[in-house]
A and B are shown apart, each in its own frame.
Chain A
Amino acid sequence: DSGVTQTPKHLITATGQRVTLRCSPRSGDLSVYWYQQSLDQGLQFLIQYYNGEERAKGNILERFSAQQFPDLHSELNLSSLELGDSALYFCASSAGSYQETQYFGPGTRLLVL
């Protein structure tokens, strides 16, 4: 158990819908990262927040957004969902913001029908 929690574990929705994925980092960690794992793209970095502020951005679509709240939990919002958004979404956390070891949650499996 990494100490990173993600909810929900599974999510099934329809195209065009909006969903919110939630992540709680390990106790004391200030950074939260979001990754997408799909069969065709592999594991890709989406975005990082550090202590409430966006710190780095990767291959995140404009339809996707994230935020980190004062209690340090983070939410990833996915809107106007397409079939191709079906994937495993991982949250990771680290103590600091620079080349730190990242600890991964169990993931949220999203299926868009």
Chain B
Amino acid sequence: AQSVTQLGSHVSVSEGALVLLRCNYSSSVPPYLFWYVQYPNQGLQLLLKYTTGATLVKGINGFEAEFKKSETSFHLTKPSAHMSDAAEYFCAVSPSGYNKLIFGAGTRLAVHP
């Protein structure tokens, strides 16, 4: 069965520091991959997605993610954290042949001054 693992349920960084949120998936066939962000008391907002083609994907708010097939990873990065980036981040896969999204457990990002 497909699964998504997000390493680290909580990540804390200083403002201006690099943000790295890790995501690994299990799939024999590369799925479509997504990162969503959830701000407090809000729904999920799409940050970026990988379908096919270029493995480095740029998203909104300065985030990007790199699809590495050999490592079955899709880590999310941002060069410089802002206070407004504090939120919960979810990695998700859409398996080939399916319509549903399978989500990881989420990583809560805290940004401190």
Closest residue of A by beta carbon distance from B106: A42
Bitwise, A78-99 to B at CB < 8 A (1) or not (0) is 0000000000001010000111
- Residues A48 and B45 in contact in the complex (CB < 8 Å), given A42-B105, A43-B90: no
Bitwise, B23-51 to A at CB < 8 A (1) or not (0) is 00000000010101000001111100101
- Which A residues from 37 to 68 make CB contacts under 8 A with B? 42-45, 48, 50, 55-56, 58
- Residues A33 and B100 in contact in the complex (CB < 8 Å), given A2-B45, A104-B44, A106-B42: yes
Is A25 an interface residue when CB atoms closer than 8 A count as contact? no
Q: Tell me, in angstroms, the Cα distance from A98 to B100 when the chains sit together.
A: 9
The answer to whether A99 touches B32 (Cβ under 8 A) is yes
The answer to whether B90 touches A48 (Cβ under 8 A) is no
The A contact surface, by secondary structure, is strand
- Residues A105 and B43 in contact in the complex (CB < 8 Å), given A43-B90, A99-B51: yes
Contacts of A99 in B (CB 8 A): 32, 51, 94, 96, 98-99
Is A101 an interface residue when CB atoms closer than 8 A count as contact? yes
Q: Which residues of B contact A (CB under 8 A)?
A: 32, 34, 36, 42-46, 49, 51, 90, 94, 96, 98-106
23 A–B contact pairs at CB < 8 A?
Answer: A31-B99, A33-B99, A42-B104, A43-B101, A43-B103, A44-B103, A45-B100, A45-B102, A48-B100, A90-B44, A92-B101, A99-B32, A99-B51, A99-B94, A99-B99, A101-B49, A102-B46, A102-B101, A104-B43, A104-B44, A104-B45, A106-B42, A106-B43
